Amino acid sequence: MHHSTVLIATLGSEPQVVTATFDLLRARGEEPGQVQVIHTLADSEPMAQAVEVLRKEAAAGLPLVLVPLKRPDGRPFVDVETQSAAEAVFRALYRAVWQTKRAGARVHLSIAGGRKTMAVFGMVTAQLLFEEGDHLWHLFSEGDFLRSRRLHPQPGDEVHLMEIPVIR
């Protein structure tokens, strides 16, 4: 798995946090060779819909890798509302970033999707593992783009990436 740039993103029920981040990175001249999406159980609504939307985007060219959160026994987590689920988030994020760095790729980590716990552990992971050239992002959107739930920003949409500073 050698990609020069990998987007790792947490997912809640809104798949556009992944697709818009991917589009905005490409508009900045980045070309993520892979998009790893960390998510809870995709068998329950609205997660099933979000994952299905991303699978359709993958069929249209999004280089998607789904990373479901699992318990030590392999059963998936439905939500991130327990200590063990939070630990699974940290393990999944840490493993994804560590493996990406080990493969020699730069990391763009988006913590816009999912529970706040996912964002917190994303920030911790970035502080532990990031090097020069890696970036931690939050997606800011409002207005028509937010209301429309479109997957891809259009000119004039109020949507942009906000870089979160990481103390290394």
Going from N- to C-terminal start, the domains of the chain cover: 11-163
User: How far is C-alpha 61 from the geometric centre of its chain's CA atoms?
Assistant: 17
Q: What whole-number distance in Å separates Cα of residue 50 and Cα of residue 14?
A: 6
Average pLDDT, the chain: 92
Residue 2 reports pLDDT greater than 60: no
**pLDDT, position 45:** 81
Least confident among 13-17, 20-24, 68-72: 68-72
Residue 168 reports pLDDT greater than 80: no
Query: Could you give phi then psi for residue 82, rounded to 5 degrees?
Result: -130, 165
| Phi-psi domain of 164 (left: phi exceeds 0; alpha: psi -120 through 50; beta: other) | beta
CATH of domain 11-163: 3.40.50.10770
| pLDDT tens digit sequence for 71-130 | 888 888 888 888 888 899 999 999 999 999 999 999 999 999 999 999 999 999 999 999
**pLDDT, position 104:** 96
Positive or negative torsion for Cα 123, 124, 127, 130: negative
SS (H, E, C) 88-129: HHHHHHHHHHHHHHHCCCEEEEECCCCCHHHHHHHHHHHHHH
**pLDDT, position 3:** 59
Task: Mark out the alpha helices in 12-168 (DSSP H runs).
Answer: 16-27, 47-59, 83-102, 116-129, 143-148
Tokens encoding 119 = 């964002």
Q: What whole-number distance in Å separates Cα of residue 153 and Cα of residue 26?
A: 12
> Mean pLDDT throughout 18-34?
96
Residue 55 reports pLDDT greater than 90: yes
Count the helices and strands in the chain (H runs, E runs). Answer: 5, 6
**pLDDT, position 122:** 97
Q: What is the 8-class DSSP label of residue 165?
A: P
